[in-house]
Amino acid sequence: MATSDNLREAFAGESQANQTYMSDAKKAKADGYPQVAKLFRAAAAAETVHAQAHLRVLGTKDTVGNLQAARSGEESEFTSMYPGFVAQAEQEGNQQAVMSFRNALAVERIHYGLYGEALNAVRSGKDLPAAAIFVCGVCGNTVIGAAPEVCPVCGAPKKRFSEIA
């Protein structure tokens, strides 16, 4: 395996560890272990440092290239990856997984569109117009402007949306 393959694998592993540790931190806090939660958050931050270092070595594209890659990845997720995952979960009768996968599939389609808008703006030498961006804490739905009263993807109330700084 080439070093570039190792860097991509290390980036993926460190990124996954970050998310796992952040989830572990929430659980530890809920279980009444605030210091253990803090340790998990610290380790998650360290994993992010590692992931970013590997990504810097791999190199990044310009913004147009990054948007194209992000859009392509989102398209692959909602056209190929998640439909198969939904079908498998349905076959197994795992309704929680079906819901998780369906929510992600719907939101990846939204991200694809948002990245397309951003790509058009950047190609014309502009940024996106200044506006608030909100993310649903239940399904990840991402909206520019105002958070909806009810999430159109998962039905969560407006209070479940967080504004992204």
The pLDDT of residue 1 is: 78
The pLDDT of residue 70 is: 96
- Extract the tokens encoding 45: 């931050």
The Cα-based distances of 80 to 6, 10, 138, 165 in angstroms read 25, 24, 23, 31
Report the C-alpha gap between 137 and 143 in whole angstroms. Answer: 12
Average pLDDT for residues 83-87, to the nearest whole number? 97
The pLDDT of residue 5 is: 95
Reported pTM = 0.87
Q: Specify the fold of 130-165.
A: Rubrerythrin, domain 2 (2.20.28)
Give 4-25 pLDDT, tens digit per residue: 999 999 999 999 999 999 999 9
Burial of 142 (0-12, 13-18, 19+ CB in 10 A): middle
Give 35-72 pLDDT, tens digit per residue: 999 999 999 999 999 999 999 999 888 999 999 999 99
Give 111-147 pLDDT, tens digit per residue: 999 999 999 999 999 999 999 999 999 999 999 999 9
Q: List the one residue out of 156, 155, 131 whose CA is nearest residue 144.
A: 131
Architecture field, domain 62-127: Up-down Bundle (1.20)
DSSP 77: I
Res. 158 pLDDT band, cuts 50 70 90? very high
Q: Is the model's pLDDT at 106 over the cut of 90? A: yes
Alpha helix ranges (H) inside the chain: 3-30, 34-58, 63-76, 82-92, 95-123
Burial of 119 (0-12, 13-18, 19+ CB in 10 A): middle
- Extract the tokens encoding 145: 């402007």
SS3 139: coil
CATH class of 3-58: mainly alpha
> Are both 62-127 and 130-165 of the same fold?
no
Inter-helix orientation angle 95-123/82-92, to 10°: 170
Sequence spans of domains, the chain: 3-58, 62-127, 130-165
